[in-house]
Structure 1
Amino acid sequence: MKVPCVSLLVFIFGLLAVHGVDVCRYGEQFRCGHVLCEKTCATLDSTAPCTATCTNGCYCAPGFVRTAFGSCSPRFVCRYKNGDITRE
């Protein structure tokens, strides 16, 4: 009985390793995107289309922006808009 259980666990971990399981942090979601296309506080109002090649990874979810510290936070954390301090 011990051998089949161990074999099953090895099989499951093998599948996870082959398919790659990405666990995204708070405010992120796994999808096709590009780091150059993510919104930041500085680019929050930009309407320019992103032309970077799409790659799978963890990117900020809708309503979140990439902070200077590398994490995704709700967009209300942006204090500066067009060079002025805002109170959103």
Structure 2
Amino acid sequence: MKNTSELSAILDKLAHDHDFREHLLADPVAALAGVGVTLHPDDVPAERSLPSHAAIAADKEQLVSSLESTASMWPFLLSGGVIPT
């Protein structure tokens, strides 16, 4: 991820684009490559989940500030209690 605006755009897709969410869960490497994020297949967890569309939309600003410095697996960390509050 190069900057906060890219992260914000991806969060918008997670909040509003059902097809992107499904693609991300099914094939994270390809889905993220499609938005310019490189993810190594070895970094993909076997079990994946995402918070709801509404949760991402409601918490977008907090997520952006909290996730700016996390590793490439941030989409799967969103609901895992890893994000500092």
Task: Give the TM interval when normalised to the shorter protein.
Answer: under 0.3
TM-score by length of 2: 0.18
Higher helix share: 2
TM-score by length of 1: 0.18
